[in-house]
Chains A and B, each alone.
Chain A
Amino acid sequence: MKILVCISNVPDTTSKINFTEDDTKFDTNGVQFVINPNDEFGLTRAMWFKEKQGATIHVVSVGEVSVEPTLRKALAIGADEAIRINTIPTDGLFVAQQLAEVVKNGQYDLIIAGRESIDYNGGMVPGILATLLDINFINTCIGLEIEGDAVTAIREIDGGKETLATTLPLVVGGQKGLVEESELRIPNMRGIMMARKKVLNVVEPTDSIRGTEDAKFEKPAPKGAVKLVDSDKIEELIDLLHNEAKVI
Chain B
Amino acid sequence: MRPDLFEAPDYYNLDDLLSEEHKLVRDAARQWVKRDISPIIEEYAQKAEFPKQILNGLSEIGAFGPYIPEEYGGAGLDQISYGLIMQEIERGDSGVRSTASVQSSLVMYPIFSYGTEEQRKKYLPKLAAGELMGCFGLTEPDHGSNPGGMTTNFKDKGDHYLLNGAKLWISNSPFADLAVVWAKNEEGRIHGLIVERDMEGFSTPETHNKWSLRASATGELIFDNVKVPKENLLPGKNGLGAPLGCLDSARYGIAWGAIGAAMDCYDTALRYAKERVQFGKPIASFQLQQKKLAEMITEITKAQLLAFRLGQLKNEGKATTAQISMAKRNNVDMAITIAREARQILGGMGITGEYSIMRHMMNLESVITYEGTHDIHLLITGADVTGIPAFQ
Contact = CB atoms under 8 A, between A and B. Distances in A.
Given A14-B7, A30-B13, A186-B61, A192 B28 contact: yes
Contacts of A76: 24, 28
Interface in A194-215: 195-196
B66 interface: yes
A192 B62 contact: yes
B264 to A, nearest CB: 16
Interface stretch (A67-75, A105-113, A127-135, A143-151): A67-75
Contacts of B35: 186
A72 B21 CA distance: 9
B75 interface: yes
A192 B60 contact: no
Interface string A20-37: 000000000110000000
A163 interface: no
Contacts of B198: none
B61 to A, nearest CB: 6
A186 B28 contact: yes
A195 B66 CA distance: 16
Interface of B is mostly: helix
B28 A68 contact: no
A73 B61 contact: no
B104 to A, nearest CB: 12
Interface in B209-248: none
A186 B217 CA distance: 27
B70 A193 contact: yes
25 contacts: A68-B20, A69-B20, A69-B23, A69-B24, A72-B20, A73-B24, A76-B28, A186-B28, A186-B31, A186-B32, A186-B61, A187-B28, A188-B28, A188-B61, A188-B62, A189-B28, A189-B59, A189-B60, A189-B62, A189-B66, A192-B28, A192-B62, A192-B75, A193-B75, A196-B21
Interface residues of A, number: 17
Nearest to A186: B31
A108 to B, nearest CB: 26
Contacts of B48: none
Interface in A169-204: 186-190, 192-193, 195-196
B384 interface: no
Nearest to A30: B13
B20 A188 contact: no
Contact of B61 (A189, A195, A196): A189
Contacts of B156: none
Contact of B60 (A72, A188, A195, A196): A188
B76 interface: yes
Contacts of B354: none
Nearest to A68: B20
A40 to B, nearest CB: 12
A187 B76 contact: no
Interface of B: 7, 10, 13, 20-21, 23-25, 27-28, 31-32, 35, 59-62, 66, 70, 75-76
B24 A192 contact: yes
A193 B21 CA distance: 9
A188 B60 CA distance: 5
Contacts of A196: 21
A73 B31 CA distance: 13
B265 to A, nearest CB: 19
Contacts of B23: 69
Contacts of A72: 20-21, 24
Contacts of B27: 73
A30 B21 contact: no
Contacts of B59: 189
Q: Pick from B10, B20, B24 the residue with the most CB of A within 10 Å.
A: B24
A29 B27 CA distance: 18
A68 B59 CA distance: 26
Contacts of B28: 76, 186-189, 192
A155 B28 CA distance: 31
Q: Pick from A190, A192, A195 the residue with the most CB of B within 10 Å.
A: A192
Contacts of A186: 28, 31-32, 35, 60-61
A193 B70 CA distance: 9
A14 B8 CA distance: 11
Contacts of A193: 70, 75-76
A53 to B, nearest CB: 24
Interface string A49-66: 000000000000000000
The 5 closest A-B pairs by CB, nearest first: A189-B62, A188-B60, A186-B31, A189-B75, A69-B20
Nearest to A29: B13
A73 B27 CA distance: 10
Interface in A201-248: none
B71 to A, nearest CB: 12
B65 to A, nearest CB: 10
A166 B24 CA distance: 38
Contacts of A187: 24, 28
